[in-house]
Every structure is written in C-alpha cells, then in structure tokens.
Amino acid sequence: MNPDVYLAAAVAELTVALLLLPRLAIGPSVSDRVVALNTASTQAALAVLFYSAYADRTIYLDVAVWLVSFSYLGAIVWARFLERGLL
C-alpha cells in the first residue's frame, strides 16, 4: 500500500488528540479529564503504530506497546487516587 496513507492516518489520529485538548482543559468534572487523557494516550499509541507502518521500522512498535500498557496502568492509578485520596 502507499505509505502516504499510513502517514495520513497518523495525522488523523493526532488531529483527534488535538481536538481532545479542550476537553482536558474545561472538563466540568475530573472524570471527564480522565477519559480525555486516556483517549489521548490511545490516540498517541495508534499514531505511533501508523507511523511505524509509514517508516517501515518495526522497532517503533515497542513504543506503542509501552504506551498502551502504561495508559492502562495510569487509568488504574487515577481511579485509585479518585476513590481514596491517599494513592
């Protein structure tokens, strides 16, 4: 496939992440901010995946794996912090 398609997909993912930033700024509750942050992390990981397909380098896939796994861990940390404020 044409590699420019993958680059356009990565640009689209990061554009979605850019549209998520106002929700991170003016979330009425802290739960809206948690959802916006986790969605932005997922979009960043997908952008790294598509950029790895564009650049034809498989070493970048490890970064996407780290991003997704630590996004999940960060969701757990945020939930624990919001439930009991002692972390």
Q: Does 16 bind another protein (CB under 8 A)?
A: no
Q: Does 60 bind another protein (CB under 8 A)?
A: yes
**What distance in Å separates the CA atoms of residue 28 and residue 45, rounded to the nearest whole number?**
26
**What distance in Å separates the CA atoms of residue 26 and residue 33, rounded to the nearest whole number?**
8
Token pair, residue 84, equals 């009991």
Helices vs strands, H then E, count in the chain: 3, 0
Q: Does 75 bind another protein (CB under 8 A)?
A: no
**What distance in Å separates the CA atoms of residue 10 and residue 78, rounded to the nearest whole number?**
27
Q: Does 76 bind another protein (CB under 8 A)?
A: no
User: Nearer to another protein by C-beta: 1 or 81?
Assistant: 81
Per CB under 8 A, residues contacting another protein are 4, 7-8, 10-11, 14-15, 17-18, 21, 24-25, 27, 30, 33-34, 36-37, 40-41, 44, 47-48, 51-52, 59-60, 62-63, 66-67, 70-71, 73-74, 77-78, 81-82, 85-87
